[in-house]
Each structure stands twice: as C-alpha cells, then as structure tokens.
Structure 1
Amino acid sequence: MHQYRLGADVLEGSPAEKDLAVLVDNKFPTRQQCALVAKEANGQQAYSRPSQGFSILCDQSKGAHRDAEIPWQVFQVGPKAGGILEALGFRKGGEAEGEHVVPAALGAGLEAKVRSAGVTRGFFGVTENGNWTHSPHWCWDASVGTHATILFTKEPYSQDALHGRSAILRCEVAEPANVAFEWLQNGLPIQDTEQRFKEGSNLQFIAIDRHRDTGEFQCVARNVLTGEEARTANASFNIKWLETGSVLLRQPTSTAEIQPSSTVVLRCHIDGHPRPTWQWFRDSIPIPDDRDTYAISNKERTLTLRSASPNDNGLYYCCARSAIGFVCSHDNFTLNIIDESFPQPVIIPQDLIVTKNEEAMFDCQFTAVPPPTQEWLFEDTPITNRSSPVSPCMPRTIVFANGSLLITQVRARSTGVYKCVGRGQRGKPAVLEATLRLAEIEDMAPFSPKVFTANQGHRVACVAPRGIPPPQVWWERDQKQVPTAGRVYQEAEQLIFTSITETDAGTYTCHAANKAGEKKQELSITVATVPKWVEMPKDSQLEESKPGYLHCLSKASLKPTVTWYRNGVSISEDSRFEISENGTLRINNVEVYDGTMYKCVSSTPAGSIEGYARVHVLEKLKFTPPPQPLQCMEFDKEVTVSCSATGREKPTIQWTKTDGSSLPSHVSHNAGVLSFRKVSRSDSGNYTCIASNSPQGEIRATVQLVVAVYVTFKLEPEPTTVYQGHTAMFQCQAEGDPMPHIQWKGKDKILDPGKLLPRIQIMPNGSLVIYDVTTEDSGKYTCIAGNSCNIKHREAFLYVVDKPAVEEDEGPSSHTPYKMIQTIGLSVGAAVAYIIIVLGLMFYCKKRRKAKRLKKHPEGEEPEMECLNGGAFLQNGQTTDEIQEEVALTNLGSSSGASKRHSTADKMHFPRSNLQTITTLGRGEFGEVFLAKAKGVEDGEDEALVLVKSLQTRDEQLQLDFRREAEMFGKLNHANVVRLLGLCREAEPHYMVLEYVDLGDLKQFLRISKSKDESLKPQPLSTKHKVSICTQVALGMEHLSNGRFVHRDLAARNCLVSAQRQVKVSALSLSKDVYNSEYYHFRQAWIPLRWMPPEAVLEDEFSTKSDVWSFGVLMWEVFTHGEMPYSLLADDEVLAGLQSGKTKLLQPEGCPSRLAKLMQRCWAPSPKDRPSFGELATTLGDSPADSKA
C-alpha cells in the first residue's frame, strides 16, 4: 500500500486547511467500479459504494471496516464531512433503489489533478496533520470516472526515426470541440520552431535531430470549458544515425613516442545507432585481422599494430557500415616510423579546394639516407613537367625540384586524388595522398512570404545550401547585417524576433557564401495587427425598392477581410448584395424582409473585430398584392372583392366607383373588403381601391367587375356502347351569360374541329358524332363548357364492341345478335344502375349530414359556417367545384396537341417573357420566391397573380427536390392544394409557377387575426373558422397522400388563404430569411425542427404519418393564432426533448378538448398509432365548433 499526498489547493475552494490523501493499492481489482452515492439517513448524508454485480474487494485501510467484502455497504459521515467531500469535487448520486444505485464520480478539477499525479485508482480520504480525520475512505477507479470524457482515438507511439528525416507524432480525440492540445518533452512544454511544430493536434518534425529530439513525448488534451485534462502515454523516438569521425592515436599518447617494433593502437571515431560494423584500410587497401601483424576490435573500434616497423608506414583510415548507410573517416592517421634508410615525410601535402581555372600547389618532401627519389601520381599515372599529349587543353603540371606540384588552370577533370611517392634504398615506398576539389555552391531554396502576428515572438531558419567548402550563412536587412543581439537578432542560421512590431515588416535577405561564390534569397515579412474601426456599422433606415448601404470601415497593417452576416448567415454569395473593397455592404434593392440584424466581421491573421447594425425598412405604399384588374362576380350570389396594402404607416383602404357615383345600398366595404350582398346586373363596372396614409399620400388600383351567369349544363353526355363500324353520339348543351363555348376532349387530347378526321364531327348544338367507330375510339370523352368567367366539364365513356356474326340457317341461333345486344345492354345497364345507386347514396348522406349541421347552427351565424359544413367556398365568385374544373381545363389547354409521351415539363412549359415581377417574398433552399403577373397562364384571363419559385442552386440534391416538387404539384388537382400553372426551363434559373391567392400565407393571416388593431384585423376568428381551416388542410393533405406524396414541411407558413377563407396547401419554404427562425441547421441541412416527429429528425424517415405529426402542430398554430411551437425552448433543447420523448405542446387556450385529443393522437410516438388524413378530415368535419376564440 502506497500513500500520495496532494496539497490543500485540491480542495477547490474549501475553507478547510486539509489535504487529500490517496492510498494506492497495486492489487486493486481492474474490474472494480467504485462511486459515491448520497443518501439521507437520520438527517445525515450517507455515502455508499455499489457492487455493480460483484463483490467489492477494496481494503478499508487495514481494519477500519472488516466487512469490506460485503456487496453492499453504507458508511455514515457527518454533515461537515459531506461538505468537505462536495468541496473536493465529489458529486452526489441519486437515491438507492434496491441493488441499483446511480454512481457519482470525482469533479473535473480534482480528477485532472489526481490523474496528473499518476493515480489511476485507489482510496480517497481527508487528512489533517497527517492523520485520517474521517473514516471511511472512498475508493475510485479512473476508468469509470464520469468526468473522463476526453477519449483519445489516436495516441503517439514509440517509433524508429532517421536523423535528419521527417516524422510525426499523432494525437486525436473523439470529441475535439473545446479541446486544446499541448505537447510535452520530458514533462516540459514544447515551443514551435521551423524544424519542430504543432500542426493541428499533431507534432510535426521537419528533420529529426538526435540530440534535440531525444526523451519522452506526451500529448495533453485539455477541455477549455470544464478544465478537464487527459494525457496520453509517453512516446519516444529510436533515432537511427551514422556520423563520420577521425582516426586518432590511442597508444602511445603521441607520434613522437612511436619507435620501431613498438605497439601502436589506432581508434576509429565513426559512431552510429544501431551500432555499425567497422573496417580498416592502409593506403586504400583493406587490412585483414590476421592476429599476427594486425588485431582489429569491433567492440573497441580499434586497430592494433603488434610490432610496428617502417614497412607499416602509410595512411590509415576506417569506414563503417550500418542499415543507415556507409561512411569513412574524414581525418586520417599517417604512420611514419623513422628509419634513416626509409623515406620519411618532411612536408605532407594538404587537401585543396580551388575555383575553376585557379592554380593549385601541393607541397611534398621526403628525407632518407641516402636521399630518396620522389614522384607524383594522378590516377596512378606519373606526372611529368609537360602538357598532356592526348589533350592540349589538359592543364599544365609542373613538378619542382623541391618536390612541390603545381597545377595551372584547374578544371573539373583535374580533381581527384594526387599521390606523392618517396622511394629509398630500403623499405617500402612512402605514399602521401592529397585531394583536389573544385569549390561549388548550390542555389538556395526560395522562402514563402511570412505573415506574423504583432507583439509575439517568431523565428525563421535559413537552411544553408550544399557547397564545398560548407557555406557561411548570415542575414541582412536594407544591406546591413542583422546583429547577433537585441530585439531582432540572428543566431546561427536563424532570424529571431523576440517581440515583432509593425516596424519590423519588410524584406530580409539570407546570404550564403564560400570560395565558389555567394547566393542569397529574399524573405518578405508582413506584420499583421488587429483591425481598428474607422466607421462601425450603425442602425439604419433604408427605403424599400431602393439601394441601401451599411458601412464597415476598418484599418490594419494588412488589408482586413470583411464578411457580412444576415441573421447569422453569411451573405457573401447572395446576388442581391454587393460588398465593396472598403467593406461597405450594398443592398441592391431593399425589400421589406431585409429589416433585420446584420453583423460585419473585419479580420486579419492577428484577430478580428465585429460590429452590428439593425436595418429598419421604410416600406413604400403599395398594394399587397395588387388587385386583379378583371374579376367576375356570379349573378344573384354573395361576393366579396379584397384589396390590401402596406406602407410606413398602416394605410386606410377605401372602395369607390371609378365614375364617381356612390356605392349601391347592397354594397359595403370594410377593411379593404368590398362586399356585395346579392350581385345584380347593375353592379358591373369599374371600381377603384384607394390606399392612403399621411406621410406617403395615396395609391389607386382600378378593378373591372363583370357580372356573369356561371356555366351550367342542360344536357350532359352519357356513357355509350356501340358496335364497331356503327355511329356514336355524345350530346352536350350548356347555358350561361356570356353564352358558353363548348369544346371536346377525347383520350387526353383536345379535339380541334379544324384538324378532326372526316368521320368525327362536332355539331353546332355541341354534340360529338363519331362515324364508323373502331375499338381505338374507346375511352373517355370530356365536354368542356366555358365562358369568360368560369369553366365546367363533364365526362362520359365510349365502349366499342364487336358485332356478333349472323348464322345463315334458321333456328334458335338466329336470335343470337339480338341476345348479344340484350346481354350487353343488361350489363351496361346494371353498371350504370350501380353507379347511380352509389352516387345517390353519397348525395343522400351528404345532404343528410348538411341538414343535421344546419339544425345545430340556424341561419344568422357567420357565412363561413356553411363552408365548414360542406357548402361551397367562393373565390372571386367561383365555387370550389368550379375551381377544380378550372384546373382540369387549364391542364387541357396547356397540353393542346401534345401526346402522352410528353413529360410534365413539356406540357407545363410557360414563356418566361410572360412573367412580370411584382415583389420578392423571401428566399428558400432553392432560391428566391417572388410574386409576379403572368400573361395567359389562366384561360379566360389576360393576367393572373402567381407565385414563382426559382432554382438558383447548383446542389444536385436540391435540384432533384425542385423537380420532385414540380412533379407533385403538377399531378395534384384539388381545391385545397395549389396548382402548378407552368414551368420556365428554357434558361437558368428555372422557374416553377404556382397558384397564389390574395391574403398570402396562413401564418401571417393568423397573426393579423390576433392583432388588436381593428383597422388591420379583418374579422375575428371563431372556433368554427379555425376548424374549417384545419379541415381544408386535412382534405388537401388527404389528396396529396392519396397520390403517394409526402410534403415534409407542412406548417401554417406553407399554406395560403384567400379572402373567402379558402385554404390551399403550398410549399413556399422561406427558410433563408422571412421564416429563418423556424428552421434549424442539422446534419448539413435546414429542417423545420419544431414541426417534425422524432423519426424524421433522428432517422431521416419521412412518410405520410410524419406529415400527420406536422399537421398536429399546424392545428396548434391555428388555435394559438400563429405562435411559435416550444417558444420558450432553444433549438438544442427542442432536439433533446425529441430524443428523450419528453417535450410536448400544451393545449391551446380556448381549444375544445376533443380537438386537443386529436392533436395528441397526431403526436403519437409510434407512426402507426397516428390517424390518417382521411380520418382527420372526417373527424374535423363532424366536430361541433360554436365557441369564440
């Protein structure tokens, strides 16, 4: 048992002057899980240890508690001790429930300090003056500490490395957010240099140094928020190297003591790791280990001459070989045992380095009795006093009488080893060698420009180029050498700034020079400072539809980079904005939704500053949207015509007759709505809507109202069965004012009278006649009747059958044709009768349900109640059924002459030139969404107000989603779903043209209905109005789901509402600005988090049942008048609530309990437990709703 003591500061703020003592038992079980659990016991805190399924084997300090092996054990401590434990960082756990106890662990600060002491598990207790003040002690295992949240995914490991080569030590954690990394060498922090620096969380070595990079390296990861710290295991380099050295005389101590027949020991100072093998040479000839003349010791790296004689004279050197490479000694030993008859060197030639064309002189002299002869060899060829006969260009060599050798005009071919040979009467010739080399220097590697942060220390290394001899390196600035001391100085090859300032910026030159010449390389240093404000962004008032400017002017030593953000989203790539070089933001055309918060960030490598500005948009006085210039009213019906406008102040809206006459008594106007109680013929004419306020004056819009009798059928086509080759006829007559025009469509093609086959005729009375029918004529035929105000159609099927063969002989078979006709007639009649019965039952049930509702709600209530209970909604004088029929006709007109093979895009093509932009509504994932006037998009109307969605993204997934959305709306045909009116795909960006209605999106409508401003609020919403809205959305979504489509973003903001309270499901998805706060960035996508079920958010599983969940939230929006779901929670809290299943929306005030229960069913955790849209529509349609909200 070992004891470690930590100082009083470990108590983390506890006033008690006590230590935390740690008892560490090396035999502590590795499976042990020890924790602290707080529990009330007689008013005192009890700290317990759970067994977690096996016995606790912690020894309680030698007898403090003898029952240490009991699986469950409770220790009683007083309140004072409990307070100390809490001050130490112990956290309380939960209450004990049987064998299940919520574990607690050491606090983050305490755990970090305990880990740094090298303690991984043991006992803990409080001591005072060396004595345990509280018993028992608490056991702890670092492997289960709840605070040990830093988990290394990559740790440094010991590895081989080559001296002078690059290497890297890696360190990564599972959750790098808020984690800072530091590297230690032998326990001390490592400072970044050019050769060794931290890159990300790793430690990078440009060139391993066997002296500098030895020792233990350790990575430290520290959470900057919690203070938690974790360390990796130590790692080191096994640095492999091989370094040349000299040959030195080891015995005797000096050359003067060498005598004939004496022992001479030479030592090779080449060394390396791993240990190399050595080899000895004399005069370039390997020396064998013969144990007689020579003895070689690899261990000692020595060569022993047992009895040296003049015959052993010569140049001795050694070489070494290892896995790293092969090197030889650079400073060798010449043995020269003096014997008068042996040649002895007097002057030894030295190695020379010269420049090209320079002369070289080798001096060499020998002495002997009698005097020796002397000669020079080059490449083992004797040198004479003449030029080479082979090449006159060969430099001239001169051997002087004193033995010196002169080489004139040294060239590359002159370089090499020269030998000076002395020959006496006795003994071996004495050979001395010298090397001649040309001086050279290579080019220097260029520097990349450096940007340094002001007021910090920096250094730059200049690597000397390769050269012979090694070049000398120094730094200069402005042609003056940088001093070797001061704030800016050079040390060896490094340029060092102790604290760099702006004045240090400029060009520095690194020089390298030797005998061959001088090289230099310039380094540009820029000193970056933190930007300072010249003009900060300020709150501004910008006028709508005009350019607006926000200034962000700053200065620094480097030109700052300016980035603008709008609602936290970068706007650098938005084409509506321009950022000038000085940082000013220009909004090219200010829109209403530009009124929000903007942030400017000015940054340099030294840091950044940011400023904020709120933009208030001064709205222009305008109609929203402009009233349609031509509108129809159905004769003898109740009709309303809406006109709305906005401005800097809420405008007053009035209706007048354009000719100045007063409005009839049965016509009234309130809050922009012109109401006709019962339309008469005299109501036709021009009416003017006037919107005015005091600061902006007034604007006018003229609307021509046409009174018409809508189309009705007098005679409808009926299903017809005829024999092949006979004549078929469909009758169709309609009436209305203006008189309707009749057109036929057969088998999905418009039948153009001018292009029909001769056997097909359209009669003046509207009947369709087909002569000599064939089986190819079978199919659906549609009679379309329309005038300038509305359109209707009726369908009938043509069945063509083969005529039975006629038998020649008489008898029972002669009646076969008649029986066949009778059989066909009976079959068709039975089918028709069945259809009539089904339709009759449906009509009867509908009338009965309507009658029951009318009993519950007598006349005198709001007219919207009729809409809710099955009556027809009015939209500019058209019923819901008629709108559906108009959709059908629009589709027919757009596909005139097209075949089945044509795609939706071909059928729905609409000329871009026929669009006139009115105003931008906002921006979504695809691009901008705007209102426009479309010419000829609706049959019978010159212009129509439409919603246009543009595709301005290059993202392939978003482009696919855009096509899918167009396909969805193109295939849907329902009164409560917007229609796809056209596609513009002849150029980019592509446009999707959708139906739009006059009051805009449902979210704004709900908010306005809650407003206390009576001039703005159209009419109060009753509960039945709210139920009507929900019912219509459910019907639209039922149609959408029956088409096997999933909406994925159903919400009030994505539904449109008309002045007649007709609701249509749409998909504006203004996620980038107007409704940016209702979207959440999650997994690289913007999602409507508060409207989505858990399986869609967490598992990306979308279905009709996920739309049902969103519909429940939409119902909640309707009954809260457009409030934000979970408005008191942040997005992260909503996400956590969806993951845990604990977040629920409360029942809205004034919402009937039956409807609240229906919402809860929509939010069932399991998708299969949620109702279908058909069930929702039926339940809402049957719901009594008569209270005011």
Structure 2
Amino acid sequence: MSPVSQPSIKTSYDLVPQVRGPFLWVAISTPTQPWASSLSCTLEPLTAHTAHHESRRGLWNCPVSPSDGPPVEHPAQFRGSSLDTWELWSHEPSHLHPLDVGRRLYTQPLFPPVHKGRGATCVRTVAAAPLDPACPLSPSAGAQAAIVFIKEPTSQDALQGRRALLRCEVEAPGSVHVYWLLDGAPVQDTERRFAQGSSLSFAAVDRLQDSGAFQCVAWDKATGEEARSANASFNIKWIETGPVVLKHPASEAEIQPQTQVTLRCHIDGHPRPTYQWFRDGSPLSEGQSNHTVSSKERNLSLRPASPEHSGVYSCCAHNAFGQTCSSQNFTLSIADESFARVVLAPQDVVVARNEEAMFHCQFSAEPPPSLQWVFEDDTPITNRSRPPHLRRATVFANGSLLLTQVRPRNAGVYRCIGQGQRGPPVVLEATLHLAEIEDMPPFEPRVFTAGSEERVACLPPQGLPEPSMWWEHVGVRLPTHGRVYQKGRELVFASIAESDAGVYTCHAANLAGQRRQDVNITVATVPTWLKKPEDSQLEEGKPGYLHCLTQATPKPTVIWYRNQMLISEDSRFEVSKNGTLRINSVEVYDGTWYRCVSSTPAGSIEAQARVQVLEKLKFTPPPRPQQCMEFDKEATVPCSATGREKPTIKWVRADGSSLPEWVTDNAGTLHFSRVTRDDAGNYTCIASNGLQGQIRAHVQLTVAVFITFKVEPERTTVYQGHTALLRCEAQGDPKPLIQWKGKDRILDPTKLGPRMHIFQNGSLVIHDVAPEDSGRYTCIAGNSCNIKHTEAPLLVVDKPPQEESEGPGSPPPYKMIQTIGLSVGAAVAYIIAVLGLMFYCKKRCKAKRLQKQPEGEEPEMECLNGGPLQNGQPSAEIQEEVALTSLGSGPAATNKRHSTSDKMHFPRASLQPITTLGKSEFGEVFLAKAQGLEEGVAETLVLVKSLQSRDEQQQLDFRREFEMFGKLSHANVVRLLGLCREAEPHYMVLEYVDLGDLKQFLRISKSKDEKLKSQPLSTKQKVALCTQVALGMEHLSNNRFVHKDLAARNCLVSAQRQVKVSALGLSKDVYNSEYYHFRQAWVPLRWMSPEAILEGDFSTKSDVWAFGVLMWEVFTHGEMPHGGQADDEVLADLQAGKTRLPQPEGCPSKLYRLMQRCWALSPKDRPSFSEIANTLGDSPADSKP
C-alpha cells in the first residue's frame, strides 16, 4: 500500500508482524525503502498472555522513538483490528521522517517479562538493507551495557494514612537517573510522597492519590538507554464513615404503617467491612422476623413497618483497618392515629433575669391525647399544684407554659409529655437558660509597620445567647468598609499609617450585658541616630564603653557584633537599655571591629567602629615570687613584659650588690651557669619604657639540694598477725618531711592508731597485719622546693600450719617466704611473657595491615562504637572503654561476652516481620512483632537490625553497638531487648516507639496536607524534645560512649512525645541523601564537626556539634542542614571554618546562642551535655525571638 496524502495526516503501510523469541518485531515496508523501528507496544484490551499473535485482537498503541534522543511521548500510533491490516497515525507529519532507519530490537517484552530490565539491540545496518531475520536477541558487540535492576518495586498491602516504601535499585547507578511513574504519568515530590534516593517513600498512604500502577524508570544519561521496572501497586486498606439514609421509600413523607422501609449504611471501606445495626443504641441481631439485615448491600429492611419500629437507627462497621460508626443517624417515626403525634414542639429559650419565658407544646391523636408539663426533677406543673420555685408558672389550655419573673432557680430542662390512647408517651424537652456573658480575654499590645495590611481578631467572650461584636475608636463605631474598618470580629487596617496609632476597643453584648477590651496599636518607625558608635581607644584592664543611641517607635532593640560574631551578655560584656556596650575589663584581644544593629519591626540601622586597646605595661606572665634552684646545677629565671612601647628589662639584687660573674642578665632572663649557696636571696625584675614608666617584680630565690631517696620501700610479704616494716629514707636541703599513702589515702600520724607507726627516719611499721592491710603503699618525701615519691606493694598471707614437733629437716619460716616469693615472681614473669607475646603478634598484624594500605593513609585505631580514628589516638572520652576492649581477647573476656549474649538471647522464631524501614550499613532494618518478649504482653513492637555483611570490621562494629545499648539504661535511650545469634543473619532487637523517627515527625508537624498534619509544635515543645535528646546523650557520655551519628533521623519519638536516642543508620536508601561518600566510607557530613571529618577525631565534643545541628533540625521542622549547598561545598566550608547555620524562624535568641556554642571551632569551647541539659531546662517557654 502506498502512503495516503490527505489533511487527516494518515499514512498506511504494509506491516509484516513477526515473533522473535519473546519479543515482537514489526517490519514496516514502503514503496521506497524498508525500515524497522523501536516500538513500545501494549495491547488494548489485553485479552490473553500468550506469544501467539493469532490470539491477539484489538488496538495496539505504539509510541515510536526518534534516533537522536529519548523516546517522544506518543508521537505516532499503529492502529489495526488485526495483525494483517495496520495504519500509522500521527499528529505531526514530521514525526514520521526523523525515525531511526536502522534495525533495532524492541526492549519492552510482551510475554514473558524482561528479566530485570535487560534489553537487546541489534547491529545497525544501512537504510536500504533488507530485514535481517538472524539478528540475535542478545546485545551486539557494539551495544551499550544494559541497565540492570537490583531491586524492583513489588505490590504490597498498605494502610490508609500510614507509612510505606517502594524500593528500586539499579546496578552501577553512576550516570543513571531514576524517576517514578504512576499510571504512566511522572510522580512529583510532595511532603506526603517523595523520592528517597532511588526509592519512593510515602509518609502517609492516600487511597485516592496512590491508587494505580507505580513504575520505576531508569534512564542512562550517557547512552540514552531506558529501562522500566515491573508495575507495582498498593492494596490499600481503609474505612470511611458515612450517614444512615432512607433508601425506600423515596422520602420520609411516604412512610406509612404496614409498608416496607429500607435503610442504608453509607460506611465504606476495603476490604469490605462487616456491619452492625442499632436502634436507640441497642444492637439488632440478624434472623428476627420484623427486620432483615443485608451486609453485602449494607441495608436494613423493616417489613412491614409499624410504630414499634420507630426510633433512632445507627450503624457501625469494622474491617482489617479499624472500626467506625455512622456520622449521621436516621430517626424513623411511623404514625398511628391513636399514638400521640407532635404538632408543635417546645424550643429552648434564653431570657434575662426577671423577664418572662414561654414554651409552646401541642400533640394530636384520635381520641385527643393528654398533655402534662414536668420540671427536670420530675415535678409536675399544673395550675392547681405548683412547687414553690414555680409559683409564677401558668399552663394554658392549648398546652403552652408561661414563666414570669424568671430567676436562676427556674433555669433547667422542662419536659412536655403527650400520651395517646395507644403507644408510648411522647416526651419533648426544652431548656430554659438565663442569659449570661463572661469577661473578654485581654489583648497584648500590637506593633505594626506603616503601609502594611494588618488585622486584629477579637475573641468573643463566652455568653448565652452568643454576644454581638463591634469595634470602636475614640468612642466612634468603626464602619464596615474604608481604610480602617470592621470585618466580622476583626479590626482591619487596609494600609496602616502612623496616625492610626492609639487605643481601639472591642465590644461584646447580649441580653446579660456588655463587655469591652482595649488594644493598644503602635505603628513602628525605622530607628534614627542619636549617637553612632565611634572609633575608640580603650585602656587595658579598665572598663570600656561603645555608644549606640537611637530613637524609634517602639523602643528599638540593640544588638552588638564583635568580628561579625553576636555578643552574648556575660561577665565581661553588658548591653545597657539605651544600647551602650560596656566591656568590664578590656583585654588586648578586644581590639577589633564592633558593629551595633538597632531595629524595630519597621526596619533597622547599623554602624560600626574600631577599638584600639592601649596596652598597659605588665609582666607576661608575672614571675613567681618564690622559686627554687638546684645547688651546683645550671638554672634560669625568666622575666618578660609588654607595653605600648617595647620595654627594657633588667635584673638587680635587692641588697644593691652586683651580679657575680657566673650570673648573666640576657634580655630579661637571669642565667646561673652554676648555682652556689651565695646565689640565694631577693632579686628584682624591672621593666620600663619611656611612655609608661616602670614596673617591678620581686622574686625570692632559694638554693636547695633536691630530694633523693637513700632507702626505698621494697615489695614485702608478711604472715598474717606478724609485723610489717616498710623502710623509706630521703635526703635533701631543706630536710624533707616524709608522709605515707596507703590504699588511696594519706596516713595521718596522729590518727594511725596503735597498730601503725612512722619512725623519724620515715619508715612505716604495721603491727599485727591483717589481709585488709594488703595493697600498695607510697612513700612521699617533700620540702619547700620539690616532692618525690616511691611505692611498693605489701602482701599479707596466711601462715602455713606447722607440725607439733618439727624435725631437723623442717624449713625455717624465711624459707617459706622465699618459696612464696619465687612462686609469685615466676607467675608474674609468665604473665609478662604472655602479654609481651600478645603485644608482638598484635604489632605484626597491624604492620601487615599498614602495608596493604594505600600510600598516604594514616594507620587506623578502632573506636568503641565503630569506625576508625585516623589521628592514631582515641578520644579522652573513650580511652577507658578502648582499653577494656583490647583486654577482652583472653578466655575470661570471651566467656563474659558469651554470657552477655546468652543472657540477651531471644529466639528468632518468635519474631514476626511487619515492614522494612530501610537499609543500614549492616543490612536491612525492619519492624517486627516479638512474641513473649515482656511478661504479661503477648506481642511487642520492636525494631530489628540485621547483620548481613561478612566484613570483619562491620561485624565488630555490630557487636560494639549492641554492647553499647546493652550497657545503657536511660529513659531517653533505646533499650536492647534481645539478640538472635544462633544462625545467620544475626539480629539485634531494639526498643521501638509508635511515631517512628524524629525526622519524619518534624516533617509531618509542618505539612500542608490537612489529612497528614498534626498539631503544630510550640517553642516549649521543641525545647522539650531537645532536652530529652540532651539527657540521653549525657547518659551516653557519662558512660564513655561516642555516638558518631547523632541526628533527628536516629532518634525515635512516641505519641506522648518522649524522645529516645537510637541508631537506625538508614544510610543505604531512606536517608542516603543525608550521607556523603568520603574516604571509602559513608559519613553524615552535614552533622560532623571539622575535627571529625578532617582528622577522624570523634569524641563527646563532636557529638555536641551534631546535637547543635539536631536542635537546628527541630526548630526548622526537619529541614536539611545547608540545604542550598552541594556536599562538596559543605566540605569546603568546613575546611575554611565557615560552619554556621542561620537562625531558624521563631527560634529564641538564647537557644540559637546555645547552638552557636555547640558549633565552636575549638572542641574545648563547646559545652558539655550536662550544661546543655541545664541550659535547656532553664529556657523559658516564651523566650523572645
């Protein structure tokens, strides 16, 4: 067939369908040239899954791909009722020409599915070449590597409003871009549904927006290749309330006795709910003769309907999602002529005190019904007998009730009761209210900026009836339109001006009276200068002042900056109410730039000034007034000073004599080449310059013979009950005094008791020694110049039993002591040999590892809770734990570890997985139900971390992590509940709380989705969250643990807003965007301190830095730190010392200053977690931003 040329842009071709394995080929033949195209074909409708074309009939839609770019969405379609007759349709004729004239095998299968997205491309041939039937299904030699899906999304169950995750991963993701489709349309990120790496995360599943087929699409930017995963969908379980409505007859007016009445329950859900019907709150059971229940149709049929069926009908339903009841019930009233029927029902009445109230009530029936009024205590009201509190009540013949001069005791419920010849009595109620009005809540003063649109809402007072509201200004009621007007309860300024400032009054009134409240409106102005800060010269050591005087309405707020850093008030800096900065004691380093900012809501002004510090003449540091020199040795006595001019420094003797020849004065340093006794005495250091005069420092030099021990105590072993002698003698000049220290306390000679005595030569004697006297004893010798000490152990042993008659061959007692000494010595030598051998083996293993490291890498040292330290030394906070770990290689430590594991053992057969949360560096992290974990609880929701890696370092880190949580016990730290180590993979079972991680909780709290959004967090609640994290981290640091990955994503929060520090570490998928690949490891770059990322130095202080970032996350509702920067830019800023995050909106200044202290560049300047917890605990809830 030749092409048809007509305006409809329709072109026909002869099509030859072929089946090549599992792939469909369509060769397109034209009169001029044959060509084959890459087709994306689906059959509409899809009648069968088969490879035989003869069974496929219908419409084939085939988008055609151009040769020079990604596929164009539906540029053309092949249409046909059979595979023999086809037509090619296009909206644009040009689409038909740039198509690839080569030969390409289509990569999307019809049947069976393509395995993991693999496609195939045939070798391209010239345009005129005939179709090559021998083109292989596998890629040719010149073809690009296919995209391979490691993990494809799968269909799964989901609950309405709960979290879910569709996972998608590709092999070698380098240049591959992954996006998602829903029913063929791209999925856009929202706060509810967003991409987490290559996976798709749902904070709350929505049955309307998330129904359909999701597909993960991977597109290689380099090659243009595209692969699509299999479709995945949610089986969403939900239930939704609805009203009870009348299905038959069409209207309530058509309801008559003896007719069929059908009610329908409009509660719906998936899976189909089970329904229960109620009349007047009592359940209706199936199988009764007077009604029929159809759960499938959700109907209740009453046949035949009678007055006994009258009542209020409601329904409830439940399914796997939950239970709900009808939102609106149906009241069925079936008339009977002998039944009392309501003609006029009484209405609630609100009257002022001493006014009259009227209730109208009428019933009809055949014969006429009786009518009676009763008060709420069932007291009947008649004209003949009235209770004392209703003496002014009158019942009229038509049934109306009149109350005159109403008092508070008359308020209450009045019932009008109608009784027909048949049927139950009809009771109608109406309430008499006394009008009342409460006081209005006061206004806070308002400050507005000129030219802006502003509104002030007036909250109505509680009152009955509802009070009417209006605004007045200077006694005049405001209009409902204009520049300043009233709209409902709001006072509106369309464009506020300075002249609008003043007092406005909100009025509220009803029958009970009138209330009013005033609000003071201030129109803010931009500050103006009274006195700018000026360049100043301040004297060191004296108070200094910088003035910043401004005026504005309202009174301006003044803040000061020093070197672009905000000055917080402390013992050195004070800011007075007028804006003046006082430096209480000027230091040399205070000489820098200062900037003051004066601001109001209308704007701000600023100015800066430079401070020059006039340095005083002083010693740096002052020489110690008393110093010792060792006799017959070389000695130096330094003296240095600074001033506005460089001072001249010299030494003189106090007695005026000149310095001997062996003593020289070299630029302030007094040098003694060989100290003699005559060198003792008083010396004076004099520093002077021509501008500031001179200063003096007096030093008394003492010549001494430093202490040495003549006799040192030795290791001593003594029988119990005998006397122990520890000898110690020291010499020196001045003569040293000797003290003893035993068992970590100084032995006071005046309090030793009769058993111990210290001789004048310093030796210690202990009579009648006991086992508790064993230990190390230290001899301390000291005089006015120096102190030295030496120590020795004392061992008290039991005396061996002796024979009644000792033979000549019995060894003397000292031989026994000698034997014991030799045995102990041999044991000590053996231990030293074993430890030396262990140390040697460890050094050899470490040397081999270092040889395998690339050049330039530093040797690594293990940290307690995982990860290397690259500066070769562990942090101070974990040295003790590292030491304990290194000693744990012997049998005793192994047994201890095994006993701990056995104690925490939990059978994995009792774990029932629920859903996967993500993937950590160890393996998958999932939620599970643990059966029998806690006494009295059948099932417990737990978090399970699996160890699926065989890497030795990760296995060690995994063990260290569960040992850490096993040792900790704190309300704000997750508990280790159990271990499954009897088979692989190993499981760590941790405590889990119902709201999940803190990051998602913060995101939901600011969500704009009304279905998803929780109550907004107040400043007080945010501080409470941070305080709990600080208390948990204080417990970690007190136990010498370092977290290394503290962030909102690694904290859990409960419905009661209790926060627990955890370590989910979902770095592989859910939160992979928050980790950075650095030095062969994934690290939380944006939460790390400079020394941690650049030097590998992790400590409690690096955890404090991360806590400051966590506080910033809390006050920004889970925003990404440095969200506007790429990871490389953040790393460059850390290297340059530019690390500050901006102050979050609404964050009090006091709390932001605490964050800044956490981000101090020097770790020693950062606060401890105890100090952080105290500061947060003292923070007022209403701190001003």
Q: TM-score, normalised by structure 2?
A: 0.40
Q: TM-score, normalised by structure 1?
A: 0.39
Larger Rg: 1
